Structure 1
Amino acid sequence: MHMAGDVAGAAQTAHCLLFTLPDELLLDIAHCLSTLDQCELSPVSKQIGTIAQEAAYCAPSIPYRRSSPSRIAMLAEVLARNAHLACKVQELDLKPHTSHVSVETTLFCPWDDTVAESMQHLTVFMKESEIVGYILKHVPNLRHLLLDVRDEEAASFSSDRTHEHLLGYDHGQEPYGGAAMSNVVGL
């Protein structure tokens, strides 16, 4: 029983010591954590939550995944509404697709709630790849961008047939009558 009290006391002491560290040091520690751990730190306290958010938004990474609502659209809205977080973004790793997703109207006028309210009955659809432009507009300190756009329409074709079709193959026949193809490629 005495040991449990010692453990609880040590945890409480460590917790108190954590709050005495400078924010810069806490931010360095938060950068070493995974994004999931940073998100779990947010509700701990206002000070830790602010630092964890800052670390999480320093280098957001959104993998290719069809989801509803769109994670890229949600990132765009958060950055448009929170200039202090948008200024922290230094790296972006985005993998949007070219399909249309529903977008909150506040993305277009994040600074004016009356405009957003007047547009709230509208459903706006944009290609997720187009939303990236709104993100880039709001991140003035961006230093590194990794953008990998997935075209779902092109991906739905069979890759084996796609290149054959482009070269003129039709069910095993010579493309462009053989001689014509030699002229095309300069043979």
Structure 2
Amino acid sequence: MSFNNGGYLETDDALRMLDLLSQASGSDFYMSLESKGKKVAGEIQTLFSDNMEVLEIGGYSYVAEVASAPGSGKGVARGLPLAVVRDCDAATASIASLLYSQDSDLIVNILVFKAGGDNADRQPFFEIELTGGRVSQHAILTGGMPKRPCEIIVFSYRAVEIKSAPQLVSGIRGAVRSAKLVNN
């Protein structure tokens, strides 16, 4: 993902990000978005082990890097903004409101499940959790493929935790491994 000199997503880059929409994947992608203790509700009726409300997403892009000054021995790890691509739905206006109000206490969870039904006990095998999040950009566009209204939501954040685990045949996950990064 690239941004122009002004720091915003250009239309050409946004159109290329639509490639993140998963066409045929072996996984199911969801996002949980919470502001001030209230979940943003979408149109999906999916049951999960903790009855959380989720939004269906098509894909995402997460990048972390080590920034170091020339000649320095050790750099500083930092997480760059997370971008999520999804079809527009009932939650689109609520997400736009989060941008306009600039709430900076968002909790964002990207949840990835192995595809395979609606088992209520299933748990994600991969998760990205942002805390202290804020919607920093919101683009709504059509064009290219697919020919339907899509949105790109870019989140900045104070901390990110990545969790991964094997997902057992039953849909329940095995031992969880995690890594946490706090942006300064």
TM-score in terms of structure 2 length: 0.24
Considering fraction of residues, name the structure with more strand.
Answer: 2
Considering fraction of residues, name the structure with more helix.
Answer: 1
Larger relative contact order, structure 1 or 2 (CA cutoff 8 Å, min sep 6) = 2
TM-score in terms of structure 1 length: 0.24
Larger Rg: 1
